[in-house]
Amino acid sequence: MIKKCLFPAAGYGTRFLPATKAMPKEMLPVVNKPLIQYGVEEALEAGLKEIAIVTGRNKRAIEDHFDISYEMEQQILGTDKEEYLKGVRSLIDSCTFSYTRQIQMKGLGHAILTGRTLIGDEAFAVVLADDLCINPEGDGVLQQMIKLYKQFRCSIVAIQEVPKEDTAKYGVIAGEMIREDIYRVHSMVEKPKPEDAPSNLAIIGRYILTPDIFDLIAQTEPGKGGEIQITDALMKQAQDGCVLAYKFKGQRFDCGSVEGYIDATNFCYENLYKEGQ
């Protein structure tokens, strides 16, 4: 079964400058918790305990976050502040964390290929931490996808309907509906203009990938924006075999944009943080 979850986390986060000048964008807090911690919690909930993170320059804070902060922890030991670290401590106790660096920023496909050394020859999940996904009603998005993988045993991308004018922000799929919430992918285009988009079904940052994807990425030429796109490698996989697109249950916030980040903050404050107090 799937045990590993890959987090491509080498990107610069330029849309959040100056906040991201010296701090990784994955460490931006939504209320009081860094974005990447939400992602790791979602992975653990889905039973994925081997966390693989593709980092880059200036990302050391991510490694420090998933480690003991010895001096601080000694300081708050036995006080009511200990409570604040409980969540991250239980992730550190339950998961292993391994890291590799992407030296050049050559796109999401390239970042995933860089993670090959941490994944090896097995199916794995991918989480883009700046897509914050929350399903207060039930299973998290990765858990929903893992359940589907058990049934179909092929690569799966999470999708949601977006306004047609927004297609240029996403990978967009088209396919044959095989269940009300599942499509078998026939075509897939990275960031098409609305007039070129095959549908309004946009890929969001949750993937389950079978390991043959690595060779397919390695054979993929730079595409949109001159970058090696995972969407293009998945399109080849869809042509040769099967890729599913899954309309997940829950909310997704684009925390790579200021507006989405503010929406996520308000939502988490009202629905998660206040409830936990």
Residue 228 near residue 222 (C-beta atoms within 8 A): yes
Residue 174 near residue 85 (C-beta atoms within 8 A): no
φ, ψ dihedrals at 33, nearest 5°: -130, 135
Q: Residues in the chain, how many? A: 277
How far is residue 122's CA from residue 118's CA, in Å, rounded to a whole number? 10
204 binding ligand G1P? (CB under 6 A): yes
In the bound state with ligand G1P, the residue whose beta carbon lies nearer, of 88 and 183, is 183
36 binding ligand G1P? (CB under 6 A): no
φ, ψ dihedrals at 190, nearest 5°: -85, 120
Footprint of ligand G1P on 113-132 (CB under 6 A):
128, 131
How far is residue 15's CA from residue 190's CA, in Å, rounded to a whole number? 20
56 binding ligand G1P? (CB under 6 A): no
Q: How far apart are CB 128 and ligand G1P at their closest, in Å?
A: 5
203 binding ligand G1P? (CB under 6 A): yes
Footprint of ligand G1P on 136-175 (CB under 6 A):
170-171
Which residue in the set 205, 213, 238, 265 belongs to the binding site for ligand G1P (CB under 6 A)? 205
* Three-state secondary-structure class, residue 224: helix
231 binding ligand G1P? (CB under 6 A): yes
Q: How far apart are CB 134 and ligand G1P at their closest, in Å?
A: 15
Q: How many residues form the binding site for ligand G1P (CB under 6 A)?
A: 13
φ, ψ dihedrals at 21, nearest 5°: -65, -45
Q: What is the binding site for ligand G1P (CB under 6 A)?
A: 108, 128, 131, 170-171, 190, 202-205, 229, 231, 256
